[in-house]
Every structure is written in C-alpha cells, then in structure tokens.
Structure 1
Amino acid sequence: MKKGAVPVLFEWNSYSLPATRPSVWDRTERPNTPDLPDDEEPVMEVDCHDHDYCYTTEPAAVDLALGETEELRSKLSKLRREMEEMAISCKFGLERFASSDDDIRFYTRFASYAHLMSFWSQIESAVHAIVRVTRARAVTKADDVRQAVNPTSLQPIDEFFLFMTYLSLGLLQKDLAHRLGIHQSTVSRIINTWANFLYNVLGAVGIWLDEKTIREKMPEVFHQYPDTYVILDCTELRCQTPDSLLLQSEVFSSYKSHSTFKGLIGIAPHRPVMFVSPLYEGSISDREILKQSGLISLLNPSMAIMVDKGFLVEDIVPCRVHIPAFLKKKTQLSGPEVRKTQSIARLRVHVERIIRRVKEHKLFSTVIPLSLTGSINQLFAVACILVNYQNGPLVKAWATKS
C-alpha cells in the first residue's frame, strides 16, 4: 500500500501524527567510549608470558604432594578391604564361616574347617563329572542325547555347603533361597543333585570291612565277644502322614505312634558305619528288614552279630547271634543271664550313639515331608556314611588303635 493512501488526520487526533517510538537500540544505555579516528583501530592489550624452562618446583611442595597421594592410596586400599570384608560378611557361604570351627560344626556337622576341607579334597576331583538333575531329565527326554545345561551361579564348594546346611539344619528350601539369593527351584535341584552325587561317590567306597581289619582293630572291651563282626540296630524317622488309608496302615509305627520310615544300621566294633539299608515302611519288623536288606549274604559262620531283643533272627543268619537273654516263662533271670544282658547292653550302646549322631542332622529329627520320598534314601545313606568323616572316635581311648 502506498504511503498516504489511507487518511490518518482526523478531528479527534487534532489533525496531527503521534511521535515516532525510538528503537530498542536507541533506548539501550551504553558506556561512553572515546571517539577514534576512522583510520585508527583499537589496540588490545594481551598479557603474554613465555614458558620458563629453567623453573623447578620447590622440593617441599613435591614431597607434600607425594605424601598426600600416598595417604589417599592407603585410604583407598583400606576402603576396598573393608568393602570386601563387608561383602563376605553379608554373603551366606563357606568363606564367611571358614575362620570359626564352631560355625562350621553348626552348619555342616564337621568337627572343624580342616575336617571339612579334607573331605572336600577327596571328592573334588569327581565334581567335574557331576550329573545334574536337570541334565538327567533332558537326556531322558532327548533319547540319550546330551544337552548343555547352564550351571548355577554358585561355585561347587558353595553348592556342597548349601547341601550340608540343608542336611544339618533341616532348613526350608525357601529360606536357603533367600539366604543365597537364588531361586527356590534352584535350591531344590542343587539338593537333589548333590544327594545323588554323594550317594554314588560314597557308595563306591567299600565300607564293609574284611575280617582281618575287624580283628586288628577290635577294642579290648569286646574281650567277652571277640567274634563280634557287626553291631546292628534299627532306627525310625518320622514322616508326614499320607492321605491314603492303605499307605497310612503301612507306614504307621506302633512303637513311635506315628507314620515313620525305618532303616537298619550296622557298625563295626571299633565304631565306623559299615552297613546302611534302604528305608522301609514303619510297620515292618526288625526280622523282616534284616531279610530284605541283603545283609545276610555278607555273613559267614566265622562271624557273629550283636543285636537287640527285637531281632529274633537266629534261624535265618549263618552266624552266631549275641542277643540279651529272654525271661520267657521264668520269674527272673539267673545271675549269668543278667551279667550277659548287661555286658551286651554296654557294648550295643555304641550303635545307638552312632544313630544319635546321624539324627544330629536336623533334617531327620523333624517330620519328613512326603515330597522328599524320591530322595530320602539317598539323603539317609549319605548322612550315615558322613558320620565316618565328620566326627572323631566314640571313645577317645580307641583313637590310637583305630
């Protein structure tokens, strides 16, 4: 639009135009600068210094800086050690309790850390060939085609410690999962894996001793029964009552008034466990469990077994049987019978002490859930054989001879 094409002068603005508004540049205040001629340029003053190659730092300043650096390094090393110690103290594992034999005894039932590591050194070479439960299932499903299975986040010795803690304290698997920061199903697989592994490894060791070894290590307290080869006794483990009435009648023990699993344990006269039977239903008799356990085939006429009154087995074993005297139809026992009963009882007490050591594994002092039925035989056998490695002699006087 051309300038002046629109009327801007009216009566209401007195026929005049408003003053022009100054621009932003004009309204901004600026410091006064001297006017320079057009041909002269401003000179900028720059403070420039050349590097002095002859300058050296004061020795005291260097020593002070080095001292501060060393102090910071020592503090850093100290903090790192404290962090490592804190990480170890917060981690539930063997490394945390290695310095305390009392804790090792509490969590694993081994007498000391040295005992535990001595046992570990004997089985460590076979750990690389361990067959995990998940791998076994994968092989079964894939027609014997081996499939790779991701290992757990724990080291083998920590898995072994987990298994021993479960066996010794009877902790719930969920509790162990929280302590170790892994999933509950992983704990279950580790327990089953190590139960099978130790069952096979320890089972491959011949615990049934020959007659020569038994004779050489026979304690003097057995001088009245020098032909004793094995001392036998049964033990019962309380278990969860099944829903089936038929199963209830089979596992119910009239002696314990509870559903139980029943097993047979045999020890040599000088203490070591040398026979462990599978577990049977609680209603089975001592005589029947001896017949089914396979022990009879290991005996010969030159041996003798020492048993309690419940073992009426003279007619089924090919050897002598040392058993307490029965009252039968007599009003009281004769003097020789009383002395015989007392002497046998004093010697038989050692197998009961071994059974007590087995049941110091708290898993067997609680009610065993039926979910463990598939692995309870392995767990029981491993606990019995581990008694040979975990503890010292029952009688200290036998230590030098054993």
Structure 2
Amino acid sequence: MSSTRFKCLRREGATSQYCCVPLCDISSRCNSVISFHTFPLDMEIRKKWIHSIRRADYIITPNSRVCSRHFKSDDLIEPSTPTGRRLLKKGAVPTLFEWNNFATSTPRRTGVWQRREVSPPQNEDPLPMEFQQPEHDYCSSPVPAAVDLSLDRTEELQKEVERLKKQVEELSVHHSFCLGRFAASDDDIRFFTRFMTYSHLMAFWRLIEPATNRMVRVTRAKGATKSGEVGATGNASGHSLPPIDEFFLFMVHLSLGLTQRDLAQRFNIHQSTVSRIITTWANFLYTLLGSVRIWMSEEMVKAHMPKEFQDYPDTQVIIDCTELRCQTPSSLLLQSEVFSSYKSHCTFKGLIGMAPHGAVTFISSLYAGSVSDKELLKQSGIVPLLKPNMAIMVDKGFLVDDCVPCKVYRPAFLSKREQMSADEVRKTQSIARLRVHVERLIRRVKQHKLFDTVIPLSITGSINQLYTVACLLVNYQNGPLVKAWATD
C-alpha cells in the first residue's frame, strides 16, 4: 500500500453517516470530501454490492451507506456546483477495498485538492475469515457469534437455567407479601387470616373458588354502567394480584385492620386498587356466604344439642347484642342517632344469634347505637323465625317476653328485692354458664381487629357487609367453642 495517508477533517454540526464496508472507519463527521451513497434499488446490482463488500448476511436499512472511497473515479459524477451532490453512474459497483490494496488517497472534489489516479485492484483473493466481521456498523445490531456446544454441555446448561428459574421464583415469593410466603407457618396464617391452619384456609378457598369466575368487580361494574352493559363479570383489566392473593389481602384487612395505604405498600399495588379489592370481596363474600342458610331447624338443633343444655332442651338460639365503636360524625343529629348511652360513645349495634352447640345461626344488620335491645330484636327479623315450642336464651337486660311467641330463658334479677331465692340463684348461675358462650362467640368476631378499633365513617357504606362476612366466617375459621361439643 502507498505510504500516503488520507487526512480526515472534522466537520462541525454535520449529520453523522458511516460507511458499512468492513475495516472502513470513514464517517460524514470527518469532512465534505467523502460522499456516502445508498444501496441501489435494482436487486441485481444490490446483490453485486453486497457480494463486493463481502457482507453476505448484511441487513440493509435506509441508513446503510457506502462511501466514495470504494468506487473508481470513473464511477462518480462530480456536481456542477461546489455545493451540489456527488452521484454514481448507473450500474456502478464498489471495487476498491483495503483487502485488495486500494490507494489510500481518496477521490477529491475538483479545485479542493489535486486529483490523483486510483490504482486498480491488484488482488481479488478472498478476505480471511477474521477480517469479515463487521467492525463499526451503526445501522444494525451485530449478529451474535455462534457457540458450538456439545449435547451434554447443552443439557447441563438447560438444567442450570431451570434451577436458577426456580431459585428466582422462590426468592420472589419470599420477598413478596402474598399467601404463598406464609403457607408453611400455621401461626402466621392464624395471625393474618384467623383461620386455624393453612389447610383449613385452603379448604375454604376450594369452596368459594368456583364462584370467583362470576365475581362482579367494582371497577368492571362501573365500566359496564358507562358502556350500557349490565352484569359485567370476570376479572377487570389491570389487576396485578391473582384471586387467591386478593382474598388474602381482604382477610389481612379484616383480621388486622390495616389501613389501605399500609396494604398498598405490603402488596406493592396502588392504594386505589386496594380499596377496590376490599369492596369487591366484601360484596362477593356477603352475597356468597349469605346465600347459605344458617338458621337451623328444630330437629337439627336438637341433634347437635350438648348435654350441658339438658335442663333447657328446647333452646333454639342464644342471642345477644354487640356494639362497634365508630368515628363521631360532625352532624349533631347523626351524633344523637349513633350515640350509645351504654358505651358512652358513638357506635353501630347488631344482634347475633348462636345455636346451643356454638354455630352462628342469625346475624342482624347494623343499626345506630342509640337503638334499644328490645327495638333491635323487633327490627332484626328473628321474631318470625321463632315458634311457640321453641325457647331463646338472653341476657337479663332483654325484656322481650311480650315480643316473641316462645319461652325466654333469662337470668333472674333482684328488681327491688333484697336478695334472690335459692332456686333463682341456681337458675341464674346455670343460664349464665351457658349464655357466656355467646360472649365468646362475639369475641371471636371481634378478633377481626377491624371491629376492635374506631371504625372510620369513610367505610360506613360497606361496614354492614364487612361485619356480616366476619360473623359468617366464624363458622369456617375456628373449631367448636368447647372441644367437648365437637361432632363428627
């Protein structure tokens, strides 16, 4: 090759173009002497170009260029003006390359530097393989080199990939807040969901899972209203949690009373998504579990009657009231409605009924805390379920004998007397020992910490559903109130 070197002059502000010929490092940022030419549209001539520059697998793009250094001077048409564009003659093919010892001097514009003849190619021998790799193609992604692996090595790598995938999945579950993370610990399951064990929880999930396909979601219901579709079901778009983890989120909210912001950070989702999931599952479980009849017939109650009730064999239900403390409303009228003189605070009040063997058999709606026990009993809807041959067991504050058509078992009270008779004392103690179990049942409901705190007014729209679901879940989450009452 000639000892003369081509000097590149940098052009400020020029648009960068690059030559795609291997071993050529010319770009349009050097100077205006070099011109860059696109590949011809004629497929035959284009094939000759690709063959000539020795890039058989090259993918041509609109930005692919070949600089004028690789063309003979006879193939170039000089512009008629200094600012004109240099063109190629029709059918011109690049033939001057470094591997065939082309002259290092580059064809130049007339009047800028002295023109010198480019020596014709002297050697057409194939370029060695190591020189056929693209060095600086900025227009397309480099083709990865093929890796020659033996069959054994390939199988070994595949096993390694599978092992790493499994490890990544395990780490993902371990670091994410989901049901799978706590599946191995029954204590954690008890803490987060109030279900006794993980297997107990999964048994309940298998009962409700088939119905989740028909779940009406809050977001989907709103979308259906806007589009005129009624009864839209199924998963709404954009949900990032699987159904079982949505159920787990709802149970964590119910069991621990965590705020929506806390849950959003734990489950790594948006706070508004948490709100929609809670409302959706509250309505879903309220409808699904509420469709199961929990009021028991006389025959079934007697079939499961514990021997401790032998003195009261006709007892159908043990009833009591419970109050949930709520936020004080700003309206004085509302304050007077929900203020409970018994709790000295604003409350929601509900009535709950328990069968003698410990199952929840009646749940009323929540009422304002100012309502009396007697009025709550009348409005709850339990009276029409009672028959003359039945009996109910109540606390001594329930003076409801004139409201129900059946017998009432109630502890005696003094009522202006100095003391009770011996029979009254024995009867009071006997009823108190049996009636105390309804207090234990209510305590199980309030183990859901959402109801053990001050309920914000912002969730009053769904508090009735949440309370009813918590009461119904007691029949599924726990064992019998008394182990001796367990039945097959």
What is the TM-score normalised by the length of structure 2? Answer: 0.67
**Worse-superposed segment, 72-81 or 100-109:** 72-81
- Write the distance in 1 (CA, Å) between the matches of 2:433 and 2:187: 31
Residue 356 (structure 2) pairs with residue 272 (structure 1)? no
Correspondence for 1:192 among 256, 279, 287: 279
Q: Is the 8 A contact 2:221 2:232 kept in 1?
A: no
Match of 2:199 in 1: 114
Partner in structure 1 of residue 181 of structure 2: 96
Instruction: State the 1:143 CA deviation.
Output: 4.8
C-alpha displacement of 1:84: 1.8
Q: Deviations over 1:352-371 (max 9, x none)?
A: 00100000001000110001
Equivalent residue for 1:135, pick from 220, 226, 249: 220
- Report the Cα offset of residue 399 of structure 1: 0.9
Aligned to 2:319: 232
Counterpart Cα distance in 1 of 2:158 and 2:223: 52
Question: Residues 151, 226 of structure 1: CA spacing in aligned structure 2 closer, same or farther, 3 A cutoff?
Answer: farther
Superposition map of 1:48-63 within 5 A: none
The Cα of 1:89 is off from its aligned counterpart by 0.4
Match of 2:486 in 1: 399
Distance 2:335 2:223 in 1: 34
Pairing 1:175-186 to 2, within 5 Å after superposition: 175-186=262-273
Shift of 1:328: 1.2
Structure 1 segments unaligned to the other structure (5+ residues): 1-23, 26-40, 45-64
Which letter does structure 1 place at the counterpart of 2:474?
Answer: V
Distance 2:405 2:376 in 1: 16
The alpha-carbon deviation at position 250 of structure 1 amounts to: 1.1
Alpha-carbon contact 2:177-2:266 (below 8 Å) kept: yes
Q: 1:393 and 1:229 mapped to 2: Cα distance?
A: 18
- Residue number among 369, 372, 391 corresponding to 1:282 in the alignment: 369
- Distance, in Å, in 2 between the alignment partners of 1:292 and 1:177 is 39
User: For the residues of structure 1 that align with 2:291 and 2:280, how far apart are their CA atoms?
Assistant: 17
Superimposed CA distance per residue, residues 92-119 of structure 1 (whole angstroms, 9 cap, x where no aligned partner): 1111111111111111110011111111
> What secondary structure is seen at the aligned counterpart in 2 of 1:261?
strand
1: distance between equivalents of 2:224 and 2:296?
A: 37
| Amino acid in the other structure paired with 2:417 | K
Give the whole-Å Cα distance in 2 for the aligned partners of 1:214 and 1:180: 43
What residue in structure 1 maps to residue 164 of structure 2?
Answer: 79
Q: Give the partner amino acid of 1:280.
A: Y
- How far, CA to CA, are the matches of 1:229 and 1:239 in structure 2? 32
Instruction: Give the counterpart of 2:428 among 308, 333, 341.
Output: 341
Answer yes or no: is the 8 Å Cα contact 2:282–2:466 preserved in 1: yes
Partner of 2:452: 365
1:125 Cα offset (Å):
1.0
Determine whether 1:307 maps to 2:381: no
Tell me the distance in 1 between the aligned counterparts of 2:428 and 2:336: 34
Deviation (angstroms), 1:139 = 3.6
Residue 125 of structure 1: which of 189, 197, 210 is its match?
A: 210
* Per-residue Cα deviation, 1:196-254 (whole angstroms, up to 9, x for no partner): 00001001100000000001110000011111000000001010000001111111112
Are the equivalent residues in 1 in contact too, given 2:318–2:435 (CA < 8 A)?
yes
Partner of 2:306: 219
- With 137-146 and 159-168 compared, the bigger mean Cα shift is at 137-146
Aligned residues of 1:218 and 1:269 also touching (Cα < 8 A)? yes
Tell me how far apart the structure 1 counterparts of residues 467 and 431 of structure 2 sit (CA, whole Å).
27
CA distance in 2, matches of 1:121, 1:78: 31
Q: Which residue matches 1:10? A: none
Comparing 199-208 with 143-152, which one deviates more in the overlay?
143-152
C-alpha separation in 2, matches of 1:200 and 1:360: 22
Q: Which runs of 5+ in 2 are unaligned?
A: 5-121, 126-149
Report the secondary structure of 2:480's partner residue.
coil
Please state if 1:296 is matched with 2:383.
Answer: yes
* CA distance in structure 2 between the aligned counterparts of 1:314 and 1:143, rounded to whole angstroms: 52
Q: Which amino acid aligns with 1:128?
A: N
Does structure 1 residue 157 correspond to structure 2 residue 274? no
Residues 1:202 and 2:303 aligned together:
no
- Report how many residues are paired: 346
Instruction: Please tell me the residue identity of whatever aligns with 1:239.
Output: C
1:82, distance to aligned residue in structure 2 (A): 2.5
Pairing partner for 2:469 from 382, 391, 394: 382
Shift of 1:81: 3.0
How far apart, in 2, do the equivalents of 1:146 and 1:206 lie?
25
CA contact (8 A) 2:216 2:232 kept: no
Partners of 1:138 and 1:70 in 2: how far apart?
Answer: 50
More helix per residue: 1 or 2? 1
CA distance in 1 between partners of 2:232 and 2:357 (Å): 47
Q: Which amino acid aligns with 1:160?
A: F
Q: Can you list the C-alpha shifts for 1:259-302, whole angstroms capped at 9, x where unaligned? A: 11010000000000000000011111110100000100100101
TM-score, with structure 1 as normaliser? 0.81
Q: CA separation in 2, counterparts of 1:147 and 1:381?
A: 25
Q: For 1:100 and 1:237, how far apart are their aligned partners in 2?
A: 31
Once superposed, what is the RMSD of the aligned Cα atoms? 2.5
Q: 1: distance between equivalents of 2:463 and 2:176?
A: 29
**Cα separation, 1, equivalents of 2:230 and 2:351:** 39
Amino acid at match of 1:386: L
Q: What secondary structure is seen at the aligned counterpart in 2 of 1:128?
A: helix
Q: Which amino acid aligns with 1:125?
A: P
Contact 1:138 1:146 in 2 (8 A): no
